[in-house]
């Protein structure tokens, strides 16, 4: 019998962190949406992403608990463990610190253009929609590829997640076209959001040692190989929206390697505060 293949734990955490962090950001619109329908739509989007994160964290936790070396690597996570001391999904979500998260930097940015980390800005719906589109266009391709992962559990998660992210892409794409091909003001805000966010997408294509290991034994997706298809999805929608794709150059962010923006710590402080105040609580 062939040995069971599991994706590397850090690869699962990268996928889970992406979903968790963007889900947290989109949830910030709850009660603040521009119209009631969109308030609910973004809340549902967040629930989808949190559901994906949960499945991935559960998978990662089970692999960590079954491997003494990995268990030792995560021994410092003392909160939200089960009665027998095993790591749980909550341990991984709420008790890792900023450098331990492996999400793309794009996903942790606030809902406005560039400001100092401590500055406050009004939520900009165009920024939220543009980010959701850029990320969903990637994950439609990634989840589709991961449906054939050698890690059977990851393949099942991918099949479920693909159905959800197809809706996210359609929702964000429809709004992006509405903004771009709408009024002068909506067009300008969508273009400004695109100019601000597109450079962060360079990080999609740099890969990591963990991704390389996952690809080598058939459990992961080579994201760089998806760049042409992602660009085609992007260009098709931008053309319909009459938006211009800006030139991208300069510093490439490294959130998936634990090097985050100044915004990440503030996001985690809010998200993790209750669990850390009551680390042994049972919800």
Domain that holds residue 144: 9-110+121-245+256-277
Taking 80 as the threshold, does the pLDDT of residue 138 lie above it?
A: yes
Task: Place 34 in a pLDDT band, splitting at 50, 70 and 90.
Answer: confident
Lowest mean pLDDT among 56-65, 109-118, 273-282: 109-118
CA nearest to 110, candidates 240, 215, 278, 267: 267
pLDDT at 118 (0 to 100): 57
Residue keyed to tokens 């390389």: 212
Distances (CA, A) of 24 to 123, 203, 270: 14, 20, 10
Is the pTM higher than 0.85? The answer reads yes
Distance of CA 211 to the CA centre of its chain: 15
Dihedral angle, C-alpha 199, 200, 202, 203, nearest 10 °:
170
Q: Kindly report the average pLDDT of the chain as a whole number.
A: 93
What is the number of domains present in the chain?
A: 1
Q: Is residue 65 part of a domain?
A: yes
- Structural domain contains residue 184: yes
Q: How far apart are CA 176 and CA 128, in angstroms?
A: 10
Model confidence pLDDT, tens digit, residues 74-98: 999 988 899 899 999 999 999 999 9
Is residue 27 one of the residues assigned to a domain?
A: yes
Residue 259's SS3 state is: strand
- Taking only the tens place, the pLDDT of each residue in 193-219 is 999 999 999 999 999 999 999 999 999
Dump pLDDT digits (tens) for 5-16: 999 999 999 999
Q: Is the pLDDT of residue 239 over 60?
A: yes
Closest listed residue to residue 219, CA positions, set 108, 56, 96: 56
CA pseudo-torsion sign 242, 243, 244, 245: negative
Nearest to 267 by CA among 31, 108, 36: 108
Domain-embedded: residue 283: no
Give pLDDT, residue 40: 87
Residue 50: C-alpha distances to residues 21, 88, 161 (Å): 9, 15, 11
Has residue 39 got a pLDDT over 90? no
Task: Tell me: pLDDT of 272 over 80.
Answer: yes
Q: Please tell me what DSSP assigns to residue 123.
A: -
Sign of the C-alpha dihedral, residues 175, 266, 195, 163? negative
- Give the whole-angstrom CA distance, residue 159 versus residue 32: 32
Whether residue 266 is contained in a domain is answered as: yes
DSSP one-letter code for 261: -
- Please check the confidence at residue 113 and state whether its pLDDT lies above 80: no
The pLDDT of residue 30 is 85
**Domain for residue 15, yes or no?**
yes
Give the CATH number of the domain where residue 125 resides. 1.20.1260.10
Residue 1 lies in a domain: no
């Amino acid at each position: 019998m062939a040995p069971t293949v599991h994706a590397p734990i850090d690869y699962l955490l990268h996928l889970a962190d992406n979903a968790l962090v963007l889900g947290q950001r989109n949830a910030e619109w709850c009660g603040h949406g521009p119209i009631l329908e969109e308030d609910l739509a973004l809340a549902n989007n967040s629930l989808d992403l949190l559901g994906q994160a949960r499945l991935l964290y559960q998978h990662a936790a089970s692999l960590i608990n079954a491997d003494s070396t990995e268990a030792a690597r995560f021994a410092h996570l003392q909160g939200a463990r089960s009665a027998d001391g095993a790591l749980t999904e909550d341990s991984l979500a709420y008790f890792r610190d900023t450098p331990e998260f492996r999400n793309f930097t794009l996903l942790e940015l606030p809902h406005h253009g560039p400001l100092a980390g401590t500055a406050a800005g009004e939520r900009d719906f165009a920024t939220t929609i543009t980010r959701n589109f850029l990320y969903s266009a990637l994950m439609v391709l990634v989840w589709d590829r991961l449906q054939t992962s050698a890690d059977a559990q990851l393949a099942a998660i991918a099949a479920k997640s693909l159905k959800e992210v197809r809706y996210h892409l359609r929702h964000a794409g429809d709004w992006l076209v509405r903004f771009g091909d709408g009024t002068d003001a909506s067009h300008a805000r969508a273009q400004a959001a695109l100019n601000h966010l597109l450079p962060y997408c360079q990080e999609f294509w740099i890969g990591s040692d963990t991704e390389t290991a996952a690809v080598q034994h058939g459990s992961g997706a080579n994201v760089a190989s998806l760049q042409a298809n992602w660009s085609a999805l992007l260009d098709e929608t931008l053309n319909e929206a009459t938006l211009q794709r800006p030139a991208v150059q300069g510093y490439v962010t490294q959130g998936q390697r634990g090097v985050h923006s100044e915004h990440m710590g503030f996001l985690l402080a809010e998200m993790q505060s209750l669990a850390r105040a009551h680390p042994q609580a049972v919800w």
